[in-house]
Amino acid sequence: MERFNYSKEIQVKGEYDVLICGGGPGGIGAAISGAENGSKTILVEKLGFLGGLATAGLVNPMCEFGYDGIRVTGGIPYRFANKLIRAGGAMFEPPKMNLSFNPEKYKLVAQRMILSAGVELLTNTSLVDCIVKDGNIVSCIFHNRDGLFAIKAKCFVDATGDAFLASMAGVPMLEDTRPKQPGSLCFKMAGVDTQSPRMHIIHQKNNHFNHQAVFIREVLEKLEAEGKEVPQYGGPWLCTTMNPGEITLNFTRSAMDCTKQDSFTKAEQKMLEDVFILSEMIRKHVPEFKEAYVSQIAPVAGARQGRRIAGLFVMTGEDYIKGTRFEDSIARACHPVDVHLPNNQGQSLTFPERAAFIPYRCLVSNAIDNLLMAGRAISVDEDAFAAVRVQAPCMEIGQAAGVAASLAVKENTTVQNIDVTKLVEIVKSYGSFV
């Protein structure tokens, strides 16, 4: 493959205390807490709205705030959830307190919270590269309608979901020991008979399997037994959008490596076809869907597994299941170790003995002195990753990352050497149960 050097003089468009790349749950948490702790903060998002895979990927519900009926996630995620509920855009589903939501109102409430916190928000802007000097990121290079430009900051937060900034900066990554989990292209269907008794699963209630429509799976298994060709699928998991007769479906499934563009593109292409094949199958064979139609397909496929940084500490699945408590715990999580198999319908679930604790050391590596991770791409093994990757803990991890970034700026120190006792105190003051 031919290679060549490229150079161009570009403008530095601003200097900030804290720069967050990525506006999903982790980035939202980091931006709000960074600004609220006195830092001049900017959040840069590649899409035109906030929410990441919650909104662009139609990944619904927001898992999960409670364990055995007791709330374990607080702080900014709980504040966000309540604002979304008051806006008529969400509802908590007991006993695990998953938050079913309307994706459009999610975008709106997230934007309002970001702006009211004093965060500068820059959307439709893609991260291109970063400049590193003496173990510090000096600036990030972006591209949007104005062309290429740089933004400088004292501290950076990678909330891209797949550690794109960390990878660009040379942070080492943990190696996978098994194939990556598959991706899904979620979609909405309208015209569904959501009043049917079997459709109670769109509200979790006491359904332990998170909205899984077993009756649809049985139909597909029967079709397969009759010799019909059924695309690879998972679940399916159905969730209310808060709109009458409309649900989101987490249904399609394809092996993918979301860190490689060719793999991601081919998986998206396959799953787009599968959306229409699977939706037509259930429209023909499931009475609740006989008048239904595909009303929206997620603009972005959801990838369950990407990169994980090699941090100061690697949290294991055993740590997660046993609920090991750490002195530097900054967030909680209670989703099961939820492993989806890449080449079939299989899924394994291992439920934690109690709600887990996530330590600050998982957000930081030794490679870069002014970079923190927010969201799922933290330093955990594959089993722990399969649990912490969901939205509520990702936003609470982001909350801690924003506070830590502000402390690093105030203390004029590295992210490895901030006052962790003070960090934990501030996180607790937000209402987190750490």
Residues 138 and 194 in one domain: no
Per residue in 47-103, pLDDT (tens digit) is 999 999 999 999 999 998 999 889 999 999 999 999 999 999 999 987 788 999 999
CATH code for the domain in which residue 139 is found: 3.50.50.60
The per-residue pLDDT for 209 is 44
Q: Between vectors from CA 41 to CA 142 and to CA 115, what angle results, nearest 5°?
A: 100
Residues 260 and 285 in one domain: yes
Q: Structural domain of residue 282, as residue ranges?
A: 183-303
pLDDT(220) > 80: yes
pLDDT(207) > 80: no
Q: Has residue 350 been placed in a domain? A: no
Mean pLDDT in residue range 7-22:
97
Per residue in 321-359, pLDDT (tens digit) is 999 999 999 999 999 999 888 888 888 899 999 999 999
Residues 151 and 193 in one domain: no
Largest CA distance in the chain: 67
Residues 299 and 330 in one domain: no
Q: Has residue 344 been placed in a domain? A: no
- The number of distinct structural domains making up the chain is 2
pLDDT cut 70: percent of the chain above it: 98
Q: What is the pTM of this model?
A: 0.95
Q: Has residue 346 been placed in a domain? A: no
Residues 286 and 395 in one domain: no
What residues contact 157, with CB distance under 8 A and at least 6 apart? Answer: 18, 19, 20, 21, 27, 30, 34, 371, 372, 373, 374, 398, 401, 402, 405
Per residue in 271-306, pLDDT (tens digit) is 999 999 999 999 999 999 999 999 999 999 999 999
The more confident residue out of 199 and 12 is 12
Q: Has residue 231 been placed in a domain? A: yes
Residues 155 and 234 in one domain: no
Residues 258 and 202 in one domain: yes
The more confident residue out of 178 and 110 is 110
Q: Has residue 376 been placed in a domain? A: yes
The per-residue pLDDT for 200 is 81
